[in-house]
Structure 1
Amino acid sequence: MHNERRLLLERRLRRVVEERLSPAVYPARRPVTVGIWNAGRRTPSFGDASEAPYTTIQPGQAWGEPWATSWLRLTGTMPTEWAGRRVELLVDVGFSAGRVGFQAEGLAYSSTGRTIKGLNPTSRWIPVDSGDPGAEVTVFVEAAANPTVLPLNDGVRDFRPTPLGDPATLPSTPLYQLRECHLALFDATAWKLARDMEVLSQLMQELGAQSERHWRIVSALERALDALDPIDIAGTAQHARDELAPLLSSPAHASAHRLSVVGHAHIDSAWLWPTSETVRKVARTTANVLQLMDASPDLVYAMSQAQQFAWMKEHYPQLFERIRERVRQGRFVPVGGMWVESDTNMPSGESLVRQLVFGKRFFMEEFGLETEEVWLPDSFGYSAALPQLIALSGSRWMLTQKISWNHTNRFPHHTFYWEGIDGTRVLTHAPPADKYNAEVTAAELAHAASNFAEQGQIGGSMLLYGHGDGGGGPTREMLARIRRLRDLEGSPRVESETPRAFFERTEAANDAAPVWVGEMYLEAHRGTYTSQARTKQGNRRSERLLREAEMWATSAAVLRGVDYPYDELDDIWKQVLLLQFHDILPGSSIAWVHQEAETTYDELATRLEQIIESSLSALSEDSGPMVPVDAVPFPASGGSPDPMSAAPEVSASVDRDGTFRLDNGLVRLHIDGSGHITSIRDLVAGRELVPHGTKVNVLTQYRDTPAQYDAWDIDPTYRTVAEAIDDVTSIEHWKGEGVAAVRTERAFGSSTVVQTVQVNAGQRRIDIEADVDWHESGKLLRVSLPLEISADRFAAETQFGHVYRPTHTNTSWDAAKFEICAHRWVHVAEPDYGVAVINESTYGHDVRRPSPGRVRATHTVVGLSLLRAPRFPDPGADQERHILRYAVVPGASIADAVWHACTFAQTDRTSRGEAALAPLVRSKTSGVVVDTIKLADDRSGDVVVRVYEALGRRARSELEIACDVSRVWVTDVLERPVAAQVELANQRATVDLTPFEVRTLRMTPAVRKLPS
């Protein structure tokens, strides 16, 4: 009986709201005249658009080729009888019900060019001044025909290949039809009644039939429906509200969970749209927010990514000034402190430092405030190096959300201290609502409260609300729900406040927060370590060249008085940092994004090479032989380069059975007729490294068809369908000066590969190159390197250090790490012997115990993921030629791995002089790495040096300085003093470092060279 009553109410309520109440919100409408000007794929200014020739368009007419822009000019006359009443302009350019930011969008302008607000499927209205009866109303709308490349419902996301992400494959037919453009009266009472009913009906559903409160709401809604005359909504809506008022004024329980609600619109700086469209998405969203703030004094909005603020300053200066005013009031809140919401797995340590430096400096310079939180709700896992860098940037907190996406294990905390590889702890919050684009529904609030892991320990959680990913932000409906849910019986308490207020209150109860140690590995999106190999190569190359450019430009400035290229380096860094956004560097964007990224990386490489060469020229002497440039400002360990007084000759030969032999006196390789390595003999240690019955450097192609997210995921079942690539088209050996190699050509599927295995005089390192012409679909190409090393864990380089990960699958947490991200090296070792595997631009690795079935497992298999072929969002991903390089270093310590990783991809450079050019500052201790040498950002001429301890031990190191300096002191990464001066004697500075500590030193030259 009770259930029947409730079901009857639900059906009755739904019908009244949909058929009577919602239409009554706009009881009268008047058509307007619509003109259209098609601008193509250009983005003209308002000034150009206002003067453009417009043609009339009627509802039902098609408009908008994919990614094209059309300007609409809407003109109408305000009816005399509407004077003094609330009037809005309703615009529907062809919206589909569903996701905001993934279809057509618009930005409305007044006739004078002032931005009014954005338009999207859930916000189709534009406020209009009705003060002058009979006045003409003119509004312009910049309408973007952004294609729908995602399903618009909230069910299973069926990501299928689409031609809409590549300018070369776009259709020319229009995507949308104009539906509606009207002036309309707005009935605020009817709208408020709809919000009352919405909140109470949602709460009724969440409370359930066992709750007394549930049935009180049922009764109140029944009375309200009885009081509402469907023929006279305007005359009876207030009576219905009166019936609901007592239910909406009943306060929450004293122990109700407290939710700090923050308006937000996580906007991907690129993803299913190019960065040029992101600029406009940010403008639409911020215009929406500013318009809502005018009418909603309780709205607090947080926006991250300094890059997006910078876009507003450059492209929408009028809008930026309005943002600046709301920032001053504390309502529009810059958060995050990073240039973009970066991926944190793949960028180098210095890149993460610069993300924080450029982001925080922008906010300080533009708004006079220092952000203290790192804001990364959607990045695909979180490096264990990050807590130290957060603290070194002067920040205190971190927010994330993506860790709730774990496929295998539920992350156990929502508010906790996160401890990094060096021991630094940062207070971290992951909102328990499990989303960063909430709509403030009763279901979301109930889930946040019941899901919160630290119940009874920490006094509340945060809820980020507003349409995100593609932008949109909060709506007035969301704000109305917040007002009704602020203190409502049966619901968590809801309070609008800034992230800072939440974190400061939470920090006061820090003794109760648990601790998570090490990386926050995301048990999802493992394919992002490999997708779009060209983008990843461009990133690694840019980081390497930036390091060199800054180092040599600093030497040229200090020793020769050459102008330091501050502005150019800043510009290059900002472009590299943008491309590290968490949907660009991971390879999960449309083709357009990655095509632009590849072009940008090539341009940046040219500019950086010019800086390097001009700096080296300034440093070179006028005469003398060409000598090598030594670009590694830290020493090799005992094994690198190898301890040989004279390098023996290399040899390459083949026996009558077709087995090739490469030998340089340090290592000896046997390679069979299929081009696979069957023996690696470390002649220094007297050890064989290839396990019996296995082969090294075997390429295997796996079926790679993830269940859901193509470019993002590698599913754990990928190994079930595998094909070793054994066929040989040709094989040959050759020997050059100090080099011996075997080259093997293969064909497989629609692709070809040339593998070259090479040994060099004087090195135990074995260099391998795979030149792949890749034309597969739904496949993963990996190389397998089984090594006779028994190890239950391995070391993998991360930013400013390394982490250990298991090679076994003892627990579900271990098994979930079947594909991991490593930087330039991984290292497997027994107590007295190790092997390093170095790579030039590969991030995806799998290091594991031997396959099941062996009686005794005494070896470890190192695998590198070289290429993928996902179909969404870029169906042509990686379908091109790739050159991928990696190396095996027998007998290597971790210190050797660090040294070889730096030298493996280093460009061989020469200068003219009697001695090799060396960096301005060098470490005298193996394992203490001088990572960065640059001039101070304040342009004082001081030298900034960043060093780190790479081995996970305590170390004292002398830094040798090639110029006279008057003082050296410790700073944070923003180059602000944080400690006393460093001991300085005989042009050497002594530093003491704890395990994996990063130290930034600032040095003042005793004599400053002035530019000529």
Structure 2
Amino acid sequence: MPYENNRIMLDRAKNMLNRLREEIYEPIGSLNVSAWITQEPVPYEARTSGTLKQLKPGDKWGELWDCAWFHFEGAVPDYANKPLRRAVLLIDVNGELCLVDEAGSPRQGLTNINSEFETALGLPGKRVVELAQPGEDVAGQTIDIWADAGCNDLFGRYRSGTLKEAQIAVCREDVRKLYYDFEVLIELAEQTDEKSARRVRVIQALYEASLKLSVINEATVKAADGKLQPQLSKKGGDPMLTVSAIGHAHIDLAWLWPIRETIRKGARTFSTVLRNMEKYPDYVFGASQPQLYLWMKEYYPKLYEQIKQRVREGRWELQGAMWVEPDTNISGGEALVRQILYGKRFFRQEFGQDIQTLWLPDVFGYSGSLPQLLRKSGIPYMMTQKLSWSVYNTHPHHSFHWEGIDGSRVLTHLPPEDTYNGPAAPRSLSKIEAAYLDKNVSEHALMLFGIGDGGGGPGEEHLERLAREHDLLGLPPVVQEYSLDFFRKLEREQDRFETYRGELYLEKHQGTLTSQARNKRYNRQMEKALRELEFTASLALALGGTSADYPSEPLERIWKETLLYQFHDILPGSSITRVFDESLERYAVLLAETTELLHTAQKRVAELAAADESQTLAFNSLPWQLERTIGRSGEHSTVSLPPMGFTLLTEEHRLDANLLSERTSQLKADPHSLENEHLHVTFGAQGGIVSLVHNQREMIAPGAEANLLTVYHDRGDAWDFPRDYRDTVAGRMELTGSTARIEGVSAILEQHYRFGESTLVQKIVLEAGADTLRFETAADWRESEKMLRASFPVQIRSDQVNCEIQFGYLKRPTTRNNGIEFARDEICAHQYIDLSQPDYGVALLSDSKYGYSAEGQTLDINLLRSPGYPDPVADRAEHEFVYALYPHAGDFVQAQVYRKGYELNTPVSVLERTSDGTQKAAAAQVGETTFSLIQADHPHVMVEAVKKAEDSDHLLFRLYETSGTQATTSVTFARACAEISETDLMEQPIGPDQGGIATVQDAPSVRLTFDPFEIKTLRVQMK
């Protein structure tokens, strides 16, 4: 025996492991199964309203996404009542199942054993229902169990729709224990150095234990156990690395299933967690996303109270400070603030806890603005692991300080196992120790274990393994604890960590910057519409309105639903068809409601301004003066709009025919060119721009043609398109006709295109006096696995392109000199992307596009793509979008390009009032025909948001520095203020000792100094 080959001995142990697995459960009876099938979920009270089927294993009960209430009935038969045996149920309906109690509240989640999952991390299935403790006599006990089922696996797949198993069984507890002993020691041996004494002794013990099990009975199991216990009892010495472990069930709020199924996934997952906490006293679990908790509160209040009890006990960690785990590339800056505001407020109000960790395990890149948002929200820590998915380059750290564009830093950790679905096996601990990039300076690492994405969470196998690995010789010790406790340990080592500056770019999933274009456009529209509504309602308060004039309740409700759709598989476009069918329908409702609330607020402003009931009000929510020509009722008015205020249009503003003609005298339009005072644009035979002269300077590269609508083959999925797409040109959209006209104050060239089954109409608009060329586009896109892009080769040379992100911009390389630059070809930008020399530049603006490329002297925008998975009809639809070209003197800071981006996305809002009521004197209360709520005298300070405070009647003003320089500005309000102070992003006051300003009283203005890209929030009590 001492000379037996180690490989042979280990193989024998693995074979024995399989035998032991089959011996754990002994069926002793069958359950009677009834099912009431419906297409959509019905509540417990209506559980018998569907189509009734009596089932036995092998019988089909549903199609994909069908629902059913199952009723399991039976009685426990007589069986040998021994201390090492206990009664259980084995249930598998080839779907997801939630057992409920007599009141219909979730009791335990079960999942079909066969599911689409990375099985190397463990089997996701859960099929065992406990009936008794070992030795407890339950013979004759009646079984009467109801369960809510979905005919889909964890990942939305269809697994035959048949009942697989419904049995009463005996669990042989001694065999179950021995099975996990074998499993852990086999993996320990495989993870240990081949020449180590530890390895060969473990293998020898496994081999000798296997020899005892020729027949598996109580005596042989006990004998085998005696061979293994000496190896399981060997402890480690002083650790070089300690692993903090926490149970987790990352739940995508929508992905390969609709939102309605996520609510039930939450109930199944969380009820399973609660049952396992009863069995395993060391078990610590954590879950993020207040939206998910809110659903539990609304749909399963009894379950929610049980969760709250475990939180109070310190067994359940509240994770993640955001309302959902959102995409952070595409979501707007103020939206990210609201993610944190509503997320932290929920946990504080419901649980009395202030969350200090950003929990984003699975998003597709991390904006360089995030560190400041976190620091100004009281969040010093961040956890993610997605950077491990990068294709070409390895992120250099697992523990590091992440520094944002403004210099703010947060302590960041990437679990070295590179997953949030850890099996909690010896291989997990071995990988953490081997892979941890910062183990030279850190003695602590984090491990997340459990089944995620589709939910489910940790099962028996995870917790049984951890019980054996706590301090097992050959592995780093592991302790179950809160991730916050881990971060506090990590913080004690932070002086030794390196700093990583700028965005955390994921070298994968760049297709999500473009997929599902309609969703992205609606998101931009909602962000802007909510900004307009809050600003206008705040105007009403400033003009003497009351709290009743501010729609706090609908605003919070609409914001939270908008934030839900920013989840990282909805806004990025990586979910199934039904998710987008439903989100588009809801977006339309939300936008209509927001627009109606805006009109109501505008009318209230008009009333408070005592405007004539027939007068028109023009609103400007941007913090600089705008000169605009407004068309209404067949007439045109030219008006100077004050910053962040409104103007009452009078007869003096009207342009008569002569003035209109004078205003448009330099406009020219024909099928080959457009021209005004500043721009002369020439078009080629295929519709592209062959020349664009701005103030006598040619902007198009010699011999090149801009805005050719190029179609590429795109055989990727919603996440990714081929890196070499440029080498697979499918063709260009063919110009089928064009017409030119002067319309009002605009010269318009309307071009019609066709490609395959798709058509596109583009109105190229040049307004009188404007220096921006707009491309107003309507596309009926019917192509499959194709990508539509427009490029602009320009006569500007720069090694860096300027890309607007939330609350600032990033400079990214236009070169491809190394692997990092090569991997970052597709980049994210919000309202503009700009290529500038010191003396000149060109900006590309957009109202809803986020995917760009900038290489050499070419700016390129990704307009549409139509992948086939997971939504087979993605973006085969009608689309509307606008992009614009803005050539400018000076670099992009001197040209204030950011303002052009805001102006494209924030048009002037006009309220026309027609009434036969009694006329009033215009602006009787305001005192003049214009009103400006707030003005900042520095050109690079933007007022991003104006809103009422959440917990008082103060007005809040959110400002930030846009150019990356220090800026000092006077901020002046419409009237004297009783008090002006500063808050953090959570609307909590901060004074000079915390970096805020000293409170100013009885003054109309305050002087502020901004560091580069700094965000400041003023809290103002107006008189």
Equivalence for 2:1009 = 992
How far 1:996 moved relative to its partner?
0.2
Distance 1:52 1:802, change over 3 A: closer
Distance 1:882 1:4 in 2: 70
| Structural mapping, 1:728-767, within 5 Å | 728-767=735-774
Q: SS at the partner of 1:190?
A: helix
Distance 2:1008 2:155 in 1: 54
How far 1:922 moved relative to its partner?
2.9
1:146 paired with 2:152, answer yes
- Alignment counterpart, residue 626 of structure 1, candidates 602, 616, 620: 616
Distance 1:205 1:239 in 2: 24
Distance 1:768 1:128 in 2: 67
Contact preservation (8 Å) 1:412, 1:453: yes
How far 1:271 moved relative to its partner?
0.4
| Structural mapping, 1:208-227, within 5 Å | 208-227=193-212
Distance 1:505 1:14 in 2: 38
Query: What letter matches 2:939 in structure 1?
Result: S
1:572 paired with 2:558, answer yes
How far 1:147 moved relative to its partner?
5.9
TM-score, with length taken from structure 1? 0.91
1:932 paired with 2:971, answer no
Equivalence for 1:125 = 128
| Structural mapping, 1:140-289, within 5 Å | 140-146=146-152, 175-230=160-215, 232-289=216-273
Query: What letter matches 2:622 in structure 1?
Result: V
| Structural mapping, 1:593-612, within 5 Å | 593-612=579-598
* Structure with higher RCO (Cα < 8 A, 6+ apart): 1
Q: SS at the partner of 1:454?
A: coil
Equivalence for 2:882 = 885
Distance 1:872 1:467 in 2: 23
Equivalence for 1:99 = none
Query: What letter matches 2:879 in structure 1?
Result: H
Distance 1:542 1:18, change over 3 A: same
Contact preservation (8 Å) 2:75, 2:142: yes
Distance 2:679 2:1000 in 1: 43
Distance 1:497 1:672, change over 3 A: same
Contact preservation (8 Å) 1:24, 1:233: no
Distance 1:999 1:675 in 2: 46
1:325 paired with 2:309, answer yes
Equivalence for 1:649 = 665
| Structural mapping, 1:737-816, within 5 Å | 737-816=744-823
Cα root mean square deviation, aligned: 2.3
| Structural mapping, 1:273-422, within 5 Å | 273-422=257-406
1:491 paired with 2:475, answer yes
Contact preservation (8 Å) 2:325, 2:567: yes
Equivalence for 1:12 = 12
Equivalence for 2:526 = 542
- Alignment counterpart, residue 466 of structure 1, candidates 450, 463, 473: 450
How far 1:899 moved relative to its partner?
1.1
Contact preservation (8 Å) 1:635, 1:926: no
Q: Deviations over 1:537-568 (max 9, x none)?
A: 01000000000000101111332424111110
| Structural mapping, 1:846-861, within 5 Å | 846-849=853-856, 860-861=857-858
Distance 1:876 1:573 in 2: 28
Distance 1:41 1:91, change over 3 A: farther
Q: Percent identity?
A: 35
Query: What letter matches 1:484 in structure 2?
Result: R
Query: What letter matches 2:1017 in structure 1?
Result: T
Contact preservation (8 Å) 1:93, 1:176: no
Q: SS at the partner of 2:345?
A: helix
Equivalence for 1:722 = 729
Contact preservation (8 Å) 1:303, 1:335: yes
Distance 1:2 1:451 in 2: 34
1:1004 paired with 2:1004, answer no
Query: What letter matches 1:996 in structure 2?
Result: F
Q: Deviations over 1:829-856 (max 9, x none)?
A: 111222211101000000111xxxxxxx
Query: What letter matches 1:780 in structure 2?
Result: M
Distance 1:541 1:958 in 2: 31
| Structural mapping, 1:58-73, within 5 Å | 58-73=56-71
How far 1:150 moved relative to its partner?
7.4
Contact preservation (8 Å) 2:748, 2:764: yes
Contact preservation (8 Å) 2:511, 2:719: yes
Equivalence for 1:160 = none
Equivalence for 1:843 = 850
Give the length in aligned residue pairs.
Answer: 951
1:135 paired with 2:141, answer yes
Distance 2:42 2:3 in 1: 58
How far 1:80 moved relative to its partner?
4.1
How far 1:94 moved relative to its partner?
4.4
Distance 2:479 2:938 in 1: 54
| Structural mapping, 1:901-920, within 5 Å | 901-911=901-911, 918=931, 920=933
Distance 1:28 1:270 in 2: 37
How far 1:669 moved relative to its partner?
1.0
Distance 1:488 1:985, change over 3 A: same
Contact preservation (8 Å) 2:699, 2:795: yes
Contact preservation (8 Å) 2:254, 2:262: yes
Equivalence for 2:35 = 36
Distance 1:240 1:735, change over 3 A: same
Equivalence for 1:587 = 573
How far 1:290 moved relative to its partner?
0.5
Distance 2:1019 2:430 in 1: 51
Distance 2:257 2:103 in 1: 29
Q: Deviations over 1:161-205 (max 9, x none)?
A: xxx8xxxxxxxxx93211211111222111010000000001111
TM-score, with length taken from structure 2? 0.90
Query: What letter matches 2:146 in structure 1?
Result: F
Q: Deviations over 1:347-383 (max 9, x none)?
A: 1110000000000000000000011000000000000
Distance 1:653 1:605, change over 3 A: closer
1:75 paired with 2:73, answer yes
Contact preservation (8 Å) 1:530, 1:865: yes
Distance 2:67 2:736 in 1: 51
1:704 paired with 2:714, answer yes
1:677 paired with 2:693, answer no
How far 1:647 moved relative to its partner?
5.4
Distance 2:153 2:304 in 1: 28
Query: What letter matches 1:59 in structure 2?
Result: P
Contact preservation (8 Å) 1:636, 1:896: no
Q: Deviations over 1:500-541 (max 9, x none)?
A: 110001001111111000000100000000000000001000
Q: SS at the partner of 1:649?
A: coil
Query: What letter matches 2:415 in structure 1?
Result: P
| Structural mapping, 1:498-509, within 5 Å | 498-509=482-493
Distance 1:552 1:300 in 2: 47
| Structural mapping, 1:550-561, within 5 Å | 550-561=534-545
Distance 1:636 1:3, change over 3 A: farther
Q: Deviations over 1:777-826 (max 9, x none)?
A: 11110001111111110110000000100000112111111100100101
When structure 1 is superposed on structure 2, of 120-129 and 507-516 the one drifting more is 120-129
Distance 1:81 1:108, change over 3 A: same
Contact preservation (8 Å) 1:24, 1:234: no
How far 1:749 moved relative to its partner?
1.6
When structure 1 is superposed on structure 2, of 728-737 and 948-957 the one drifting more is 728-737
Distance 1:946 1:514 in 2: 32
1:663 paired with 2:675, answer yes
Distance 1:10 1:541, change over 3 A: same
Distance 1:250 1:565, change over 3 A: same
How far 1:257 moved relative to its partner?
2.5
